[in-house]
């Protein structure tokens, strides 16, 4: 009986040690991923700041060109209107690109109402295979059946399943 208690104690120590090693490995992996993501985020932030300054320089240059033919206040007013319209159009593009209600929620891997991404959500591994527009071999799926030569049934006609 004493021997079994000793083995049970060894098993518990082994399980505890394995759990500690697994925790340390996961912690190290998460630290490495976080370090890479922080670097990527810093580069995106720097890119955005430089892009902002480039846009400001472009707006200033366009304003200075307008000042050549107009009074300063009119050139500034025109540039403000142009930048306001650009901001409005960009906001509209961002809203239509987000697809409220038409896209699947991020993380589930589906592409409802859109196309599948070129790579898995994790960013690693092989890209998703291309999805055919219709299922292969389905009669009336836009591909004429062999020997008929026709385009298939009318897509506007009601569809009934065979019983």
Q: What are the average pLDDT values for consecutive 10-residue runs of the chain, which has 163 residues?
A: 65 86 92 89 89 90 91 90 88 75 48 55 58 62 53 60 58
The predicted pLDDT at position 16 comes to 87
What pLDDT shows up at residue 87? 87
- The reported pLDDT for the residue numbered 157 is 62
In the chain, what is the straight-line distance between the N-terminal and C-terminal CA atoms, in Å? 69
Q: Which residues of 48-77 are buried (b: 16+ CB within 10 A; e: fewer)?
A: eeeeeeeeeeeeeeebeebeeeeeeeebee
Q: How many C-beta neighbours within 10 Å does residue 138 have? A: 10
Task: Give the DSSP letter of residue 140.
Answer: T
Q: Are 122 and 114 in contact (CB under 8 A)?
A: no
pLDDT given for residue 93 in this prediction: 86
**What angle separates helix 72-98 from helix 2-67, to the nearest 10 degrees?**
150
d(CA 77, CA 152): 59
**Predicted local confidence at residue 36, as pLDDT:** 87
pTM attached to this predicted model: 0.39
Predicted local distance difference test score (pLDDT) of residue 103: 47
Output the pLDDT for position 138.
Answer: 59
- CA dist., res. 64 & res. 62, Å (int): 5
Which residues 6+ apart lie within 8 Å of 143 measured at CB? 134, 152
Question: Is there a contact between 102 and 113 (Cβ–Cβ < 8 Å)?
Answer: yes
């Amino acid at each position: 009986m004493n021997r079994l208690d000793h083995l049970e104690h060894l098993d518990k120590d082994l399980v505890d040690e394995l759990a500690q090693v697994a925790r340390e490995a996961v912690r190290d992996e998460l630290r490495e991923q976080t370090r890479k993501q922080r670097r990527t985020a810093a580069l995106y932030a720097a890119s955005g700041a430089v892009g902002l300054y480039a846009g400001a320089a472009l707006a200033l240059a366009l304003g200075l060109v307008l000042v050549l033919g107009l009074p300063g206040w009119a050139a500034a007013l025109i540039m403000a209107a142009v930048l306001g319209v650009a901001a409005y159009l960009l906001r509209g593009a961002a809203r239509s690109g987000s697809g409220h209600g038409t896209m699947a929620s991020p993380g589930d891997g589906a592409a409802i109402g859109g196309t599948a991404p070129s790579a898995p959500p994790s960013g690693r591994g092989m890209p998703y295979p291309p999805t055919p527009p219709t299922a292969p071999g389905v009669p009336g799926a836009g591909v004429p059946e062999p020997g008929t030569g026709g385009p298939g049934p009318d897509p506007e006609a009601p569809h009934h399943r065979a019983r």
